[in-house]
Structure 1
Amino acid sequence: MGVITYTDEYTSSIPPSRLFKAVVIDAPNLIPKAFPSIEIIQGDGGVGSIRQINFAEGLMSLMKRIIHTSTLYTYIEGDALADKLESIAYEVQFEPTPEGGSKNKMTSKYYTKADVVLSEEEIKDGKDNAVEIYKIVEAYLLQNPDVYA
């Protein structure tokens, strides 16, 4: 198994505490509003739990993730893994910006199966899907300014 690591940053007009609550802490409650459905497969929804997220048509159909800490989680099943990946681990950080928004850093580790080599395009697609999830949540928060305020 190989490991490919990359770090990506993006900015948001949403303050870090609000975005963190939406994406990490309260995802089981918010994501069903922004996505078709989310189920807790194992656990109580907190650290150590496994969640399955079912997406709207187009992005991907589902994913299951294990929550290790409030800022570290691993996808263990779903379309994003296809037949090339064992898992994808994400570590996220949310920092305030002077404008009142947030600068968000995401470190991703792709754990490939056997001797699989991922192309730059496949890595870019994975990164784009992860950022798209944040953008969907961000759009929901912009449309609902009192949520997590």
Structure 2
Amino acid sequence: MGVFRHEMEVTTPLPTGRAFKGFVLESDTLFPKVAPYAIKGVEYLEGNGGPGSIRKVTFADGWGFDYLKEKIDDIDQDNLSYTYTVIESDLFKNILEKICYETKFAAAPNGGTNIKITTKFYSLGDIEIKEEAIKDSLEKRARVFKAVEEYLLANPDA
């Protein structure tokens, strides 16, 4: 098994607690609401959203893949971190075994939030994963995050 690690950091003007709530705690309802062009829906197959829960994300037609199933590994509201593992997806195409995400939220000096996302792609066998191969997936994820950010900024009471 090969492992490809990708790190990125983004900054949002949203306060830290609000960013964590929107991007993590309310993602199952907020993402399909503000980005229906990307996400049709999110349903829990096991659990209620806490660690150990498994949820299925169904993507909109034309998004490039149909679904993924993810297992929530940890949600730490005190330290504002969230880890989960994509355990199944038609995105894998006999190349990937799983994808692990670790996301940490920290206050930015300007009152916003720095979000650090570490992604580990685990390939099947000795298949080498190149950054270009996953660029599209990461860009699509960033578009959904941007839609959530714009919605929360435009709707302060949401």
Normalization by structure 1: what TM-score?
A: 0.87
> Conserved in 2, the CA contact under 8 Å of 1:28 and 1:45?
no
The corresponding residue for 2:13 is: 13
Alpha-carbon distance between aligned partners in 2 of 1:2 and 1:27, rounded to the nearest angstrom = 30
| CA RMSD between the two structures | 1.7
Query: 1:53 deviation in Å?
Result: 1.1
Q: Percent identity?
A: 40
What amino acid is aligned across from residue 145 of structure 2 in structure 1? Y
Moved over 6 A (4+): none
> Conserved in 1, the CA contact under 8 Å of 2:31 and 2:144?
no
Residue from 48, 51, 76 that aligns with 1:47: 51
Query: 1:54 deviation in Å?
Result: 1.4
Alpha-carbon distance between aligned partners in 2 of 1:69 and 1:77, rounded to the nearest angstrom = 18
Alpha-carbon distance between aligned partners in 2 of 1:132 and 1:82, rounded to the nearest angstrom = 23
Q: How many residues align?
A: 147
> Conserved in 2, the CA contact under 8 Å of 1:93 and 1:105?
yes
Alpha-carbon distance between aligned partners in 2 of 1:79 and 1:11, rounded to the nearest angstrom = 30
| Consecutive unaligned residues in structure 2, runs of 5 or more | 76-81
Answer yes or no: is 1:105 the counterpart of 2:116: yes
Query: 1:101 deviation in Å?
Result: 1.5
Distance 1:140 1:99, change over 3 A: same
Query: 1:29 deviation in Å?
Result: 2.8
Query: 1:105 deviation in Å?
Result: 0.4
The corresponding residue for 1:133 is: 144
